[in-house]
Amino acid sequence: MTNQAYYTYLLRLADDNLILGQRLSEWCGHGPILEEDIALSNIALDYIGQSTNIYKQLASLSNDGRDEDAIALTRMESEYVNALMLELPNGDYAVTIARQYYYSSFYLLYLDHLKTSSDVFLSGFAEKSIKEVKYHLQHATDWMLRLGDGTPESHSRLQHAVNGLWPYLGELFNDDELDVEAANEGWGTSREALRTAWTDRLNAVFAEAGLTVPSEAWYHSGGRKGRHTEHMGFLLAEMQFLQRAFPGAKW
Amino acid sequence: MENQALLERFQNYVDAENKIEAKDWMPDGYRKTLVRQIAQHAHSEVVGMLPEGNWITRAPSLRRKTILISKVQDEAGHGLYLYSACETLGVDRDTLIEELLSGKAKYSSIFNYPTVSWADIGAIGWLVDGAAIVNQVSLQRTSYGPYSRAMVRICKEESFHQRQGYEIMIALAKNGNEAQKKMAQEAFNRWWWPSLMMFGPSDAASAHSGQNMAWKIKRHGNDELRQKFVDMTVPQAEYLGLTIPDKDLKWNEATGHYDFGEIDWTEFNEVVKGNGPCNKQRLQTRNKAHDEGAWVREAAMAYARKQQERQAVSAA
């Protein structure tokens, strides 16, 4: 593996988690019930914590004087390589839960494969993060059932949400040259290879929740290459505000 | 009328430093006061999530973001167990929340001030949580058992909150650049007086003080606690190199305390009445979250009912 490939691979993982954590943290103080303010904050903390661990590793790898905050909070938009689904606005609670379900059910499988990575950092990271993500998936699944099989309104909102996010899923499962290289060399894992197990679980959960599985095959992509949605600029404007207003300041 | 003998027995029991528990007999006034006070405290935690939550997405570093989310999350937790403490007195959480949302119930006025810069997050942790700790340490010995125990637990977390606030202020006021120092001083200027107001009106003007002290709901007077806070905070401000926005503040050798200037009670009363900078905004935000969450809560209840019915059917 080249240093550049390894670096980018880690960066994708870190950006996915940071951007989703940032989005989830917007719920803090605004949740539908206090228990959910607590649960979503917990999950946001896990994602941001996971991303921090990776950014620290990246800082030590690049050894160019940039610390984890400089990497996480001062890049240009086109240098962020997260999947597009994770930067989309939270929407209503159904959209947030649908995204949590889609992402955590993917991510758990991904980490489970990454546990066997030949790279010590990645396997350790996966081992440690799996415990957290199991809880995230449990939380999301519980709410998929409550909303899907709750009231007609919650059902219709959730169906709308799972449909709306569906065209962003392909990007999570797409193997580009980097994923193929990482999987072939044994330090990363194929995303495409996770699809069957992921679909099996999805079908079961959707059936229990009374949801229709969308069938559209076409999907949005570009996040991995730094081509983002219009929402990303605003997310970054908030997230980077102090770092940009006071370059080099310590906090 | 309440039985005089019961009242006397209650007073003796409290005087002997016993804790009153949920199932014990208590005067109606005692119950009413506690419900009001604990509910106000719970509401303060919940509304208090908003001014600090305002900076979560803009926190300047990953570490600060993480700490701030944890802190606001703690406040949600405090709100939960204070609502539970209230429920031991026979008032359920939905009723209490309804009173908050309608504007009937009060919460700490401090949260009606805006957080306009990152330094406000430091100032809130240091000053607002600092003042809350002074109050709550005193309340750990309050006569109602469930409230007292909630306070013990909450105080532990509040001291972490205060430390993180002070740490933010050190980074800005002591170790920061000129712009950060200015930011810190401005935030200090904004939060100093409202923090002193947190202890409530002077004892002479306080409506409930006398009876609450006798029942040992309250263990120390407002002025005594306020003085304690000033004495504790002034040296901390000096260490930070901040100027205290009070020309009358000076050390009094004779009393062993800091003298400080007159609090602007007109401002205090206006904010309590609803005319603070953010009163309407805070309530609107809470109402919006509650209204937009209604269908989620309904779905959860509907699902729970269905599950119960299914279990009943499968058990039959």
What distance in Å separates residue B69's CA from the closest CA in chain A?
7
Does pLDDT of B1 surpass 60?
A: no
* Mean pLDDT score of chain B: 95
Per-chain mean pLDDT for chain A: 97
Residues of chain B contacting residue A36, judged by C-beta atoms under 8 Å apart: 293, 296
The DSSP result for B144-199, as a single string, is BHHHHHHHHHHHHHHHHHHHHHHHHHIIIIISS-HHHHHHHHHHHHHHHHHHHHTT
Band of residue B2 on the pLDDT scale cut at 50, 70, 90: low
Residue B73: list chain A partners with CB under 8 A.
Answer: 28, 37-38, 41-42, 45
Answer yes or no: is the ipTM higher than 0.85.
Answer: yes
Contacts of B42 in chain A (CB under 8 A): none
Q: Could you report the per-residue pLDDT of B152-170, keeping only the tens digit for each?
A: 999 998 999 999 999 999 9
Work out the burial of residue A78: count CB atoms within 10 Å of its CB; fewer than 13 is exposed, 13-18 middle, 19 or more buried: exposed
pTM of the model: 0.96
Residue B54's Cβ-side half-sphere holds a number of Cα atoms within 13 Å equal to 21
Mean pLDDT value across residues B189-218: 90
* Ramachandran assignment for A222, one of left (phi > 0), alpha (psi -120 to 50 degrees), beta (any other): left
If we measure between CA atoms, which residue out of B112, B105, B159 comes closest to residue B132? B159
Confidence band for B203, pLDDT divided at 50, 70 and 90: confident
Question: What per-residue confidence (pLDDT) applies to A1?
Answer: 77
**What's the whole-number mean pLDDT along residues B81-109?**
95
Give the three-class secondary structure for A238.
helix
Q: Which chain A residue shows the shortest CA-CA distance from B179? A: A246
Q: What is the mean pLDDT of residues B84-89?
A: 94
Q: Which residues of chain A have pLDDT under 70?
A: none
> Residue B206: pLDDT above 90?
no
Nearest to A238 among B57, B168, B303 (CB): B57
Domains of chain A: 3-215+224-245 (1.20.1260.10)
Among chain A residues, CA nearest to B74: A38
b/e map B190-208, b = 16+ CB within 10 Å: bbbbbbbbbbbbebeebee
Q: Which one of A17, A23, A33 makes the best mutation probe of the B interface by having the most chain B beta carbons within 10 Å?
A: A33
